[in-house]
Amino acid sequence: MTNIMTNDVHYRRVAEIWLAWARLGLDRAPRPRAHFEDMQDLCRSFDSYSLLIAMRALAQMGFEPTALERLLSDGEAEVRSREQSAVLSWAAADGAITLRGTDVIPLRIVPLCSAITRLGAEQLREMIADADAGSGDSVTVVLYPTPSSAGDYDRMEPDLLRRLYALSHEVADRGRRRVGFIPVSPWDIGSVERLAR
């Protein structure tokens, strides 16, 4: 503490406030286990949000749940449109959401609660290549949180920027499936529409 904080009558109260704030900050420092639990809760919340916007996107396409009394915690729901029927299922362990049905292209939605736009170019290329390699026989879409700053996109290389805004069919290469990436956010009104596309 400086002399001005203790000797000047005008600043003594500032010193008291400063010390009280410092004590408050020390008491509230997160413990590693608490921090881990908070981050796990954040990931589960993003998984739940992703499931809700997936259901909303299906509703925009004319699909409705057949049994409204079933809880979302059951892990699956049958959805039906006029001509089609499908099963929407989700896994609590990893948050993956799948849609399978008759005359419905299999869809896998992977919520990824990570600031992937902040990765370095090479790390991001590796992540995209790994995702493409494991896409399997279904259309795969990775949902990730919309960055809080548009500057995250501005610093990206054009090919990576295109991939992080592209749906699976927009980046398919000669019959080879690729993963689509969609930024989503509760404060972005276009999230549901992008997923419905």
Residues 111 and 71 in one domain: yes
Determine the pLDDT at residue 189. Answer: 79
Q: What is the pLDDT, as a whole number, of residue 176?
A: 67
- Buried b / exposed e across 74-99, counting CB within 10 Å, b at 16+? eeebbbeeeeeebebebeeeebbbbb
What's this model's pTM, rounded to 2 decimal places?
A: 0.77
* 186 phi/psi in degrees, rounded to 5: -60, -25
**One domain, residues 24 and 36:** no
Cα 152 to Cα 145: distance, rounded to the nearest angstrom? 12
Q: Are residues 67 and 128 in the same domain?
A: yes
Same domain, 74 and 124: yes
Residue 126: predicted pLDDT: 92
Tokens 């600031």, located at residue: 115
Domain count, the chain: 2
pLDDT at 128: 87
128, 145 in Cβ contact below 8 A?
Answer: no
Q: How far apart are CA 34 and CA 41, in angstroms?
A: 10
Q: Two tokens at 184?
A: 């989503």
Residues 165 and 136 in one domain: yes
Residues 42 and 24 occupy one common structural domain: no
Instruction: Give the pLDDT score at 5.
Output: 58
Under a CB-based contact definition with an 8 Å cutoff, are residues 185 and 146 in contact? yes
Looking at the structure, tell me whether residues 53 and 150 fall in a common domain.
Answer: yes
Q: What is the pLDDT tens value at each position of the chain, 197 positions in all?
A: 556 656 777 676 777 777 777 777 655 667 888 889 988 999 999 998 999 889 888 888 888 888 776 666 668 888 888 888 888 888 888 889 999 988 778 889 999 998 888 888 899 899 888 888 876 777 889 999 888 777 788 888 888 888 888 777 676 666 667 788 988 988 877 888 887 77
Q: The tokens 């005359």 sit on which residue?
A: 103
Identify the bridge partners of residue 152 per DSSP, sorted by sequence position: none
pLDDT digits (tens, 9 = 90+) for 49-88: 999 889 888 888 888 888 776 666 668 888 888 888 888 8
* Residues 160 and 77 reside in one and the same domain: yes
Domain limits for position 91: 32-196
